[in-house]
Each structure stands twice: as C-alpha cells, then as structure tokens.
Chains A and B, each alone.
Chain A
Amino acid sequence: MRTMAIVRRVFKQMLRDKRTLALMFLAPLLIMTLMYFLFQNNTTQVASLGVHHVDQSVVNVIDTKNVTIHHYDSSQARKMIKQHDLDGYLTQKNGQLTITYSNSNPTNTSLIKASLQSGLVKLKMKTLVTVTKKQRAALESQQAALKKLTAAQTQATVTKLKTAIAQAQARGDQATAEKLQKQLKQATATTSSSTQSAKATSYTTKSHYIYGSSDSTFFENFLPAFLGFFVFFFVFLISGVSLLNERTTGTLSRLLATPIRRSEIIMGYLIGYGGFAIIQTVLTVVFTITVFKIHLVGSIWLVFLTNLLLALVALTLGIFISTFANSEFQMIQFIPLIVVPQIFFAGLVPVDGMASWLQTIAHIMPLYYGANAMTAVVTKGAGLGDIGVNLLILVGFMVVLTMLNIVGMKRYRKV
C-alpha cells in the first residue's frame, strides 16, 4: 500500500520530466545507431603505401582494395612519409624489400602488413606454380615417350599372342587358346590404365561459422556488452540523482516522518524505476534487433531478464552511491569511478587474458556478469542453465545493496 504510493509518485514524476524520459529512452538508441555506422565503415579503411623501385610483380600483389599504391622517385622513406602523409613506404635493393611504417594509425599499419605478407605468399606460390608447371611438362613428355614405348611393346605382345591363339585354334587346342586369350585381355588392360595422367589438385575454401555469419561485425559481437552498459549507466544515473534530490530537498526526511518503513521506500524505488528500466530495455533491444537486423541466437526473454537484473543492480547501486554525494555534481563525479571502469570488464577485452589482479577486479563488477550472460545468449544461444550462475550473482549484488540502502536510511530516522 505505502510502497505503491511511492511507486505511483515515481511514475508521475518521471512522466512529467520529459527530458529525463527522452534521455532514458532515446539516448541509448542514438548512441547505438552511431556505433552501428561507425563500426560498419571500418571494413573500407584504406592505407596509403609509397613504393620506390619495387618490382612490378611485387607491387601488383600488394595492390589490394585496402591499400593504395603511390610511386615515388626517392628512397628516403622517412621524408616521403612525412611529405605525402603516407602510412608506409616500401623500397627494394636487389632482392631485399624494406618497409617503413608511419605507425601514426596502427590500423593502417596492420592493413599494409597484412597486404604485404599475403602478397609475398601469393608471389611465392606463383613461382612455385611455374616451377611445377615446367616439371610437369618435362614429366609429361617423358610419360609420352614411355607410353609410346609401352604401346609398341604391347602391340608386339598382342600380335604375338594373337598369332599364338590362331595357331592353337588351328591345332584345335582349346585350353591353350583360352589361356592365351586371358593374357591378351590383360595386356590390353594395362595399356588403358597407364594412359591416366596425374592432375594437379587446386584447393578452394568454404567457410562455416558456428556463431553469427560472415557478415558479423565488431558491432554485432560487442552489442550485448554495450546494451548492458547503457541500461546500467542510465538507470544508475537517474535513480542516484532522484534519491539525492529527495535527500537534499528534505522530502526523504519528510517521508520518514510518516509511519512508512525504510524498506517500503526502497521497494517503491525499485519497482518504480525498475518499471522504466524494463521499458528502456525492451525499446533498446527491439530497436537493435529489428533495425540493425542483429542475429539473436538465444531467447529474447533471457536478454530481457538479464538486462532487468542488471538494471536493478544499477538502481540499488545508484541509490547507495548517492548517499556519499551531497550534490548532483558530486553524483556525476562517481561516473568515471564506478560506471566507466565496468565497460572494460564487459568483454571488450577478454578477461581470461588479463593479469590476475585485474581478473579479481573483474569479478566484483556487476557488468562483467551481466555482459557475459548477455553475450552468451545473443551470440551463442546460451540457455537459462548456462547463465544461471551469472544471474544469481546479479541477484546477490542487488540483495546486498538493497540491505545496505535500508540500513543506510537509519541516518534519517532511527526506526
């Protein structure tokens, strides 16, 4: 009853604050859209490479859609890179290729590196192929000579056998004739088999993807982590600032001068702002899946559930942290301390590869569990059983923070 009075109040206040509503519901969509286009364009990145006195055959193989070639008349790589704003410079002295990278943009450096490497491999293959072709021609001519020889031999045997058969038949010796006939068949059979020549095998690759498709982009892989992060960020901020306002305007103290339980206030907040968190989650998830055609392998309900739990953790954390702030500005100061570090442990950088003390930090970050569960559901189709532990840990975070909040309100009223 009293909890619901608080819930109704939270709803009314939120619905009247159009800007906060817009921030909560539209800002994530805006950022998602921006990210979608940013990471899509990554595939058409082009690096510029200057070349000087390099064999045309080498230049031809390096010239791919990711690298544009410019020819220059100087061997001074450093100078040319600076002068023409190049990403790399390739020179040749006899058989020695020397490459200088500008390395002001590591992505372009790796693009040139990859092109150069694959180009050189291609080149090696080509020479290998010409060599084998020559060898094959030689082999083939030998084979032809051999074939001629065997054909002649067989012909001789056949004629010999045929005359022998004719003689045997003339003699009326049926058994010998049959035996000879068999030999004849064998002789002709060998000829036909030896005409089969060895053909070179050419390999083609066919790719299969267990998760996602060949269209999977950076955006798609990290979408679940970002989805969780945005929900976490906005709910943390809004709930924290709301409770802070309630504290600074004195309404919290006024509420506590009524017979309301401290837990009823916290529950009212959880339900009220939790409701908006649900709407935000549904909107963001449905938007990304339908507009960007994201391939969702697992159940959409699990995505909602994980996000909701994450939102509730953010809500209780926001309320908890607001206790340590005396103004909205001080609340904002907690964002780089509490919220931003979470994104690093959300799966953008593989946690398994981190130093062990960093892994320990990861395990106290709610977003680590939330984003892991989301990624598993979205990209691998994990079920409730697979992410159950993660969800339970999130529930644990929520329960502990809720308890702390209820106890923390004793500051304003002793019962």
Chain B
Amino acid sequence: MATDYVIAKQVSKHFGHQQVLNQIDLTLPAGMIYGLIGPSGAGKTTLIKSILGMEAVDSGTVKVMDTVMPNRAVMAQVGYMAQSDALYETLTARENLTLFGQLMSVPKIKLAQMIDYAAGLVDLTSQLDKRVSGYSGGMKRRLSLAIALIQDPQLLILDEPTVGIDPELRQQIWTELNKLKDTGKSMLVTTHVMDEAERCDYLMLIRHGIALAEGTPAALKQQYAVDTIEQVFLKAGRMQDANDGNR
C-alpha cells in the first residue's frame, strides 16, 4: 500500500461564476497532521468535501487510499467530522455512536469496545447515556469527534474540530491527535485559529480558492521572514491582493 493517503491533483471547482478551488495540489502521507488554514469562505470545506467524494470536482483528480474518488466503499476508511454538529438530538450519545458505528460497518462484537474507546478519548464516558439535546456546544463538538473515530480509521478529516471547545480540552484533543498520528494515522484539519496551525506538521494556506503557500510551519516562517504563522498569513494575503491589483 502506498504511503500517501490522499493525493489531490489540480483540483478546480466553481459554484456559478465563483471559482471556489483553483488548481489545488495536496498530498497527505501516512502519519502526518496536515493543516488547511484560511479565512471563512476560502474553500477549505469544499476541498474537504471533494476529497470525501461528496462534491464533484470540475477538473483534476482526487485519490484516497489509492482509489479515485468519489467512491462509496472508501468512505468507511475515512473518519469525518463536519463543521456543524450533525447529531440526532433526541438520541443519547451512545445511540448516536451506535448508529454511525453500524453505518461504518463496525462489527457488533467490537462496537461496545469502540464506543468506550472513542468516548474516553473525548472525555464523554460519564455522559454517554444522556440525550444530546441536553449537551453543551463543546460536548456536542467532542461527540462529533468521537463519531469520526468510531471505526478506528487510518485517515481523519476534521473540519474545524476545536470550535467552541475550552482551552484545556483543546489541549487534550491535540494530545490525542498526536498520539493517533504516532500510530500511523493521518489527519487533515481545517482551522482558522493560528496557534493551532503551529501544531500541524504541514500547512497549506488557502485564500479565494488558491493555495497561497505551503510547507512546514518553520519553513513558512522562514520563507516570509516573520515570527508567527499569523504574520505569514497576513503577508501572503497582502501579496495576493497586490498581485490581483497589478493584473
């Protein structure tokens, strides 16, 4: 098996007249946390949905686990956490986990064990039998993450995973993500919180559907001769605007 979990080549996509993705190249090898950073509306979610095969791309190809997407069967190997908490509020957390476990074809005998594992990871074990309607925003976010982990996938695609989560828990989650990485799993994480970007192994800056810059956080800082990723982003953005103006 190839070590690259995701290979996207020259991916373009537009909605109406608006170009949402413009010739994006992305390669995600095994054992890496790949960060997609950019402002809201930059095209991060569209890129993620194209990789999942939920959106059709206009041109270019996406391969996940060496399979050309869209492909339904490959989806079982991808843990996905959506930007909005898509949970069944009248069901308990355990019932939500059970449902998605069954949909992901987790064997019956393994399911209870996986629920305990995933709930433990996000610190929800004691609240498992409470209905989701009684959950706080942060708890819902954590449950969404637990659902993404339910089939123990090699590839995790997390869309804004730490929105609404308090700093302490965010710390815990990043610790867990790093542990998962050490077991050979890969993660594609979108964020617009810049200090989170520093924790990624590799970054891609997206703005107006264009990949402005990419590289490790250290390399990027060096390239733009600044101290923080935030400054990298601001500088790259200004350069993009200047180029647009010259055109």
A residues with CB within 8 A of B: 1-2, 5, 8-9, 12-13, 16-17, 249-251, 253-261, 412-415
Residues in B whose Cβ lies below 8 Å from that of A251: 86-88
Contact across chains for B54 and A261 when beta carbons are under 8 A apart: no
Residues in B whose Cβ lies below 8 Å from that of A413: 53-54, 70
Interface size on B, residues (CB 8 A): 30
**Chain B interface, DSSP helix/strand/loop, else mixed:** loop
Residues in B whose Cβ lies below 8 Å from that of A17: 90
Contact across chains for B75 and A257 when beta carbons are under 8 A apart: yes
Q: What is the bound-complex CA distance between A2 and B70, given in angstroms?
A: 20
Residues in B whose Cβ lies below 8 Å from that of A9: 88, 91, 95, 99
**Of B52, B54, B90, B103, which one neighbours A2 at CB under 8 angstroms?**
B103
Contact across chains for B84 and A12 when beta carbons are under 8 A apart: no
Residues in B whose Cβ lies below 8 Å from that of A415: 53, 70-72
Residues in B whose Cβ lies below 8 Å from that of A250: 82, 84-86
- 15 A-B pairs in the complex with CB atoms less than 8 angstroms apart: A2-B102, A2-B103, A5-B103, A8-B99, A9-B88, A9-B99, A253-B82, A254-B82, A259-B74, A259-B105, A260-B103, A413-B54, A413-B70, A415-B53, A415-B72
Residues in A whose Cβ lies below 8 Å from that of B87: 249, 251
Contact across chains for B70 and A255 when beta carbons are under 8 A apart: no
Could you mark each residue 113-142 of chain B with 1 if its beta carbon is under 8 Å from any beta carbon of chain A, else 0? 000000000000000000000000000000
Residues of chain B in range 59-112 having any CB-CB distance to chain A below 8 Å: 70-76, 78, 80, 82, 84-91, 95, 99-100, 102-105
Contact across chains for A259 and B104 when beta carbons are under 8 A apart: yes
A-B pairs with CB below 8 Å: how many?
75
**Of B55, B56, B70, B100, which one neighbours A258 at CB under 8 angstroms?**
B100
Residues in A whose Cβ lies below 8 Å from that of B95: 9, 12
Residues in A whose Cβ lies below 8 Å from that of B85: 250
Contact across chains for A13 and B105 when beta carbons are under 8 A apart: no
Residues in B whose Cβ lies below 8 Å from that of A412: 54
- Given A413-B53, A414-B53, A415-B71, A259-B103 contact (CB < 8 Å): yes
Which of B74, B80, B88, B91 is the most central at the interface, judged by chain A CB atoms within 10 Å of its CB? B88
Residues in A whose Cβ lies below 8 Å from that of B105: 1-2, 259
Contact across chains for B56 and A414 when beta carbons are under 8 A apart: yes
Q: Quote the shortest CB–CB distance from A240 to chain B (angstroms).
A: 18
B residues with CB within 8 A of A: 52-56, 70-76, 78, 80, 82, 84-91, 95, 99-100, 102-105
**Chain A interface, DSSP helix/strand/loop, else mixed:** loop
Q: Quote the shortest CB–CB distance from B178 to chain A (angstroms).
A: 24
Contact across chains for B88 and A261 when beta carbons are under 8 A apart: no
| B85 to chain A: closest residue by CB | A250
| B78 to chain A: closest residue by CB | A257
| A251 to chain B: closest residue by CB | B86
**Of A1, A12, A256, A258, which one neighbours B76 at CB under 8 angstroms?**
A258
Which of B52, B76, B95, B99 is the most central at the interface, judged by chain A CB atoms within 10 Å of its CB? B99
Q: What is the bound-complex CA distance between A259 and B80, given in angstroms?
A: 12
Residues in A whose Cβ lies below 8 Å from that of B70: 413-415
Q: What is the bound-complex CA distance between A47 and B90, given in angstroms?
A: 56
Residues in A whose Cβ lies below 8 Å from that of B72: 259, 261, 415
| A257 to chain B: closest residue by CB | B80
Residues in B whose Cβ lies below 8 Å from that of A13: 88, 90-91
Contact across chains for B73 and A259 when beta carbons are under 8 A apart: yes
- Extra contacts, 7 of them, besides A9-B88, A259-B74 (Cβ < 8 A), are A1-B105, A9-B95, A250-B85, A257-B80, A258-B76, A414-B53, A414-B56
Q: Quote the shortest CB–CB distance from B45 to chain A (angstroms).
A: 11
Residues in B whose Cβ lies below 8 Å from that of A5: 99, 102-103
Q: Quote the shortest CB–CB distance from A251 to chain B (angstroms).
A: 4
Residues in B whose Cβ lies below 8 Å from that of A16: 90-91
- Given A415-B53, A415-B72, A249-B86 contact (CB < 8 Å): yes
Residues in B whose Cβ lies below 8 Å from that of A256: 54
Q: What is the bound-complex CA distance between A260 and B71, given in angstroms?
A: 11
- Given A13-B88, A13-B90, A255-B54 contact (CB < 8 Å): no
Contact across chains for B102 and A1 when beta carbons are under 8 A apart: yes
- Given A9-B91, A13-B91, A413-B53, A258-B84 contact (CB < 8 Å): no
Q: What is the bound-complex CA distance between A127 and B90, given in angstroms?
A: 79
Q: What is the bound-complex CA distance between A216 and B87, given in angstroms?
A: 52
Q: What is the bound-complex CA distance between A249 and B56, given in angstroms?
A: 22
Contact across chains for B86 and A258 when beta carbons are under 8 A apart: no
Contact across chains for A253 and B73 when beta carbons are under 8 A apart: no
Contact across chains for A414 and B75 when beta carbons are under 8 A apart: no
Residues in B whose Cβ lies below 8 Å from that of A253: 54, 82, 86
Q: What is the bound-complex CA distance between A260 and B102, given in angstroms?
A: 10
